[in-house]
Structure 1
Amino acid sequence: MQGASRSDHRVLIIDDHVLFAESLELALSLEGYDVRRLELPAEGGSMATVRSLALRANPRTVLLDLDLGRFGDGANLIAPLAKAGINVVILTASDELGRWGGCMRLGARRVLPKSGALQHALATVRRLHQGLPVISREELESLLEAWARDRRTIDDLRRRLDLLTPREREVLGALIEGRTVRAISQGSVVSEATVRTQVKSILNKLEVSSQLAAVGMANQVGWRQGT
């Protein structure tokens, strides 16, 4: 917005890393922006609480950390903030481009790595203030393609997990809990040979070669017994 005063541009910082948030707050304040830092509740509260506090602050731009500690994935805030007409800029230590693409798909204006984020964040806020684009079409398309690739991978992993029988799901759930074949057999009152056969079937269906890989696949898609 050409000609608008920076003091009229409110920037809200949502980050549970206090020193990092304070550095952003100081740097943006020195540039003349109206900067607020959202104080995350020390106890209680939820992502809904954070969302409500953020909207109540009425910012024009939000600098949002993806990892909000006990409050969970900051990506859950992107859509409601963007829907309210707020510029959402993501700051993250994650280098997973598919995850970045997911943020853009939800309505974020830009995703910035936390390494070197201070100068990049300042430059991005300046461009948003001036009404200028903050990401190229090519970069946006690349991130969305990375998200689509990740989505296809997750869908394929879920398809394989859906092939498991109820008993195989129980065994996989036990493996995720760290139980051994012997412990599973004792708990189920079946022989170890039977459990090994069930584990082998699980590995075949999931197309992996080890119990560790099977557990890793389940964790990758957030699978739990009964889901």
Structure 2
Amino acid sequence: MNQHATDFEPRLRMNEVPAPDRVLIVDDHSLVRDGLRSILEISFPGCEILEADSFEQALDALEKADEVDLVLLDLNIPDVNRLSGLKQLRADFPSTPVVMVTGVSDPVIMRDALAAGAAGFVPKSLKRQAIVDALRQILMGEIFLPDLETNDSDDARMREDDAIRARIDSLTPQQRIVLGHLVGGLLNKQIAHELSVSMTTVKAHVSAILQKMNVFSRTQAVILANRIGFID
């Protein structure tokens, strides 16, 4: 699932990556916002860039904006406690991917951020091109986590996999069947035909799956399922 900045770049093609129309940068340091704005302006020409220096301001911007394709959220902003901002954004704006952009590179925090529904964890220490590649991967529906190259990385990945399995285990038998069809690449109407149920029922199952797996898209649900080798 999570490719690293050093090994997924060859897979990306500019014409295959959807460009964001609107991105919100949430960071209380103006220099950081300016740096991220510069990266976005160069990499995604025409993208509207919103800024917020507090979580309260971020909520206001999201309420007023028609749609935001990405939120770049600093882990340590004054008016949130650790991952409380991420959790609130996922609850209030479940279809908006939230990327943690931070100077912290702690495998435990990364695991907790992923469990809370983060679409990626991008250290500020990454080089400009690595940040761009990470955002492109996220825009393609995948999750980005950096390669920390620490002794804890394998343990952290195992904990992440356990968290994914726990989420899938929370699905009902029918939801697991629908997830299996999603993994198989079937569309909603094909799943409805296979299960002899209505499209409305399938959509309800898909919505429940996304909620229980704490993801914002079918693609992300499939990626997580494939990561642990899910077979219904």
- Could you say which structure has the higher helix fraction? 1
> What's the TM-score, normalizing by structure 2?
0.49
Larger radius of gyration: 1
RCO comparison, higher one (Cα < 8 Å, 6+): 2
> What's the TM-score, normalizing by structure 1?
0.50
